[in-house]
Chain A
Amino acid sequence: MTELAQSSLAELGKLLDGGQVSAVELAQLFLERIERHRDLNAWLDVRPELTLQQARVADARRARGERGPLLGVPIGHKDIFVTRGWASTAGSRMLEGYMSPFDATVVERLARAGMVCLGKLNCDEFAMGSSNENSAFGNVLNPWDRAAVPGGSSGGSAAAVAARLAPIATGTDTGGSIREPAAFSGVTGVKPTYGRPSRWGMIAFASSLDTAGLLAASAEDCALVFNSMLGFDPRDSTSVQRPDEDFTRALQSDLSGLRIGVPAQFFEQGLQPDVEAAVRAAIEQYRHLGASLIDVQLPNAPLGIPVYYVVAPAEASSNLSRFDGVRYGHRASRFDDLSDMIKKSRAEGFGPEPRRRILVGTYVLSHGYYDAYYLKASKVRRLIAEDFRRAFQVCDLIAGPVTSSVAFNFGEKAADPVSMYLADLFTVPASLAGVPALSMPCGFGERGRPVGLQLIANYFDEARLLGAAHRYQLATGWHRRVPPGF
C-alpha cells in the first residue's frame, strides 16, 4: 500500500479508471497514513466521515459513467482556504473553530473536478512566516529531520506531501510561502501568475501578492490539477480573464532551444556552498538536456525584502482590520466598552508575528510616513518587476536557488524577525512582480536536508515552466525520494 501512496496523480487516475482502486479506498489509505503520522502535526482538522462521504460521491459519479483525471483523487487544503465542514482558522487563535458558510473558489473548483478533501493543513498564522513556528496550533515537523523546520507558511502542506500523507495539497504564496517550504521539505511547489487562481475564500494577507498554488511530488501532478484549479472568477476583483488552457501541453516538449537565464544576484548574499553546489549541478543538468544558459541581471532583486516588508504589512494591516471580535473570531471575555473590546480581542487573538506586521503596516500607511514608505516601496516594486521584463526578453526561464540554506532548526531564527525575513530573499522578487515560479528538489545538502531549485517564468507561461520542470524530473528522479520511514 506504500506504493499506492507514492503513485503519481496520473497513475491514481488510471487505477481509478480501471476500477483497480476506488475513491473510498484511496481516501482510507491516506486517512490511515495521516492518523499514523499525527506526530508531524501537519493537519489541523481531519474529519474522516466527511472525507469518506466525498469519496463515495466520487465513486458514484464514476459508476454513472463520469470520467475525469481528478475524479476520486484526494487532496489536502492549506488552512488559509475556507471550507464548509472543516474548521477554517488560518493557523490563528483569532479564528479557532471558525466554520465557513461557503467553500473558497479553489476548493469548490477542485471538488467539482471530483477531488476528495482529506482535511485542513497547518500553516503559519495568517500565512505570515517562513518556518511554520508562527502557527497558534504548534510546529509542523519536517519529515526528513524532525529537528528541522518544514518551512512556511505552507509548512503543513509541504510536510504532508513529503510524507505522502496526501498526494497533493494546496498552498498559498505571498512572498515565498509555497516555494520555501517545498524546498525545505523536498517536494515540488508551484505558484502560478498572480490573478490566475481565485483569491475568493482565501483568508486575506496581502491582496496584491496572495496567490494560490500547489505542493505535490511532481510538476506533472501540479499541471494536471492546475487545469481544474485556475481560471476566471467574477467574485475576485483582480481575477484575470483569459481563455482556458491545458497546462500539461508542454510536458512532452524537449528542452532544445530553451534559454535559461542565470541571475548573478541569486548567487550572492550568503548563499551556502551546499545549496550552491546542488543548484549549479541542476542548472548544468539543464544544459545537458539541451537548454542554453544565459547570464541575466536582476539588479533590483536584492531590494525585494525591504520592499516586501513595507507592501505586505501595509496590506495586512488593512485586511486584518476586519477582526474586531464582533462578527466572527475571538472576543475578549473582559472589557470596559466597545473600543476596549476591540483592542483586547485583537491583542488576545493575534500572535506575535501578525501583531508585529500590523504595527509595521499601520505605521507605513500613517499620516506623514506614507510617501517615504508605502509609495516609495511601490515604486521600487516596479523596478523589480521591470528587471524580470527585461530578463525575459533574452531568456525563457530564470533558474536559481530557492533559499540560501537548507532547512534550519526550530528556534534558530525565531527570536530575530529580520533574519527570518531574509529566508525569503530569493522568492520575494517573483512574488512582487507576480510572475509564476516553482521549487523542485535537486539534491541534498548539509545534514541530509533537501535542496530546492527555483525556476521562474514570464507572466502566463506556466505550461512552459511545468514542462521544463517535468523534463528535469524525468531525467534525475530527485522528486521521487521519500523520507525514510514514510
Chain B
Amino acid sequence: MSLTLADVHRIAHLARIEISDQQAKGVVEQLNDIFAMIEQIARVDTAGVAPMTHPLDGVQRLREDVPEAAPDRAELLGNAPAQQDGLFLVPRVIE
C-alpha cells in the first residue's frame, strides 16, 4: 500500500488541516515510511484475540447527573480568539 498525493489531500480535509501541494509532497513520503513500519502488524495472528482499548480493561464510570461548580464564564471566554456578549464569535455561516 502506498498513499498518493490525492490521498494526503483527502486525509487532510478529513482532519480539517489546510495543506498545500508542496506540503503534501513533503509529507507523503514520510507517511508512507510510517505505514511501511506499521504494516508488520498485519502479519500477526490475532485470531480469537479481543481488542484492548484500555489498560485494565476499565469501563466508563458514570455519575449522578447533577450540576457541579463550573469555572468562571468570563475567565473561560477570556481565552477565545473572538467573543462578544458572553458568546464565542465565528464567521457568518447563514447568509
Contacts and interface: CB of A to CB of B under 8 A. Distances in A.
Q: Do A and B bind each other?
A: yes
A372 B40 CA distance: 11
A10 interface: no
A360 B32 CA distance: 10
Given A306-B40, A346-B17, A378 B80 contact: no
B91 A337 contact: yes
B18 A360 contact: no
A350 B52 CA distance: 29
A377 B52 CA distance: 9
Nearest to B52: A382
A473 to B, nearest CB: 28
A346 B18 contact: yes
Contacts of A434: 55-56
Contacts, number: 162
A381 B52 contact: yes
Nearest to A332: B18
Given A325-B81, A327-B80, A378 B34 contact: no
A417 to B, nearest CB: 5
A255 B76 CA distance: 52
A57 to B, nearest CB: 22
Contacts of A324: 16
A249 interface: no
B56 A459 contact: yes
A78 to B, nearest CB: 20
Nearest to B78: A99
A377 B15 contact: no
A147 interface: no
Contacts of A385: 52, 55
A81 interface: no
Interface string A205-249: 000100000000000000000000000001001111000000000
Interface residues of B, number: 50
Interface in B81-95: 81-82, 88, 90-91, 93
B88 A350 contact: no
Interface string A321-340: 10011111111000101111
Nearest to B40: A306
B22 to A, nearest CB: 13
A343 B58 contact: no
Nearest to A211: B55
Contact of A433 (B11, B38, B55, B91): B55
Nearest to A235: B68
B15 A306 contact: no
B46 A383 contact: yes
Contacts of B34: 309, 356, 360, 417-418, 421
B63 A328 contact: no
B8 A343 contact: no
Given A195-B56, A303-B44, A382 B37 contact: no
Interface in B39-70: 39-42, 44, 46, 49-56, 58, 60-61, 63
Nearest to B49: A379
Nearest to B13: A343
A362 interface: yes
Interface string A359-395: 1101100100000110111111111010000000000
A22 interface: no
B2 to A, nearest CB: 13
Given A303-B44, A376-B41, A382-B49, A194 B56 contact: yes
B31 interface: yes
B49 A372 contact: no
A310 B38 contact: yes
Contacts of A375: 51
Interface string B2-41: 0100011001101111110000000100110111011111
A366 B17 contact: no
A305 interface: yes
A342 interface: yes
A366 B14 contact: yes
A300 B44 CA distance: 9
Given A306-B41, A337-B93, A195 B55 contact: yes
A116 interface: no
Contacts of A339: 16
Contacts of B71: 101-102
Nearest to A350: B17
A278 interface: no
6 contacts: A102-B71, A208-B54, A331-B82, A339-B16, A366-B14, A373-B38
Given A324-B16, A341-B91, 16 more contacts: A99-B79, A101-B79, A193-B55, A337-B91, A338-B93, A343-B16, A346-B17, A362-B15, A363-B11, A366-B11, A378-B51, A379-B49, A380-B49, A381-B51, A417-B33, A459-B56
Q: Which 8 residue pairs of A and B lie closest in terms of their CB atoms, listed nearest first?
A: A434-B55, A378-B51, A331-B81, A382-B52, A379-B46, A101-B71, A328-B79, A347-B18
Interface of A: 98-99, 101-102, 193-195, 208, 234, 237-240, 300, 303, 305-307, 309-310, 317, 321, 324-331, 335, 337-344, 346-347, 350, 355-356, 358-360, 362-363, 366, 372-373, 375-383, 385, 416-418, 421, 432-435, 459
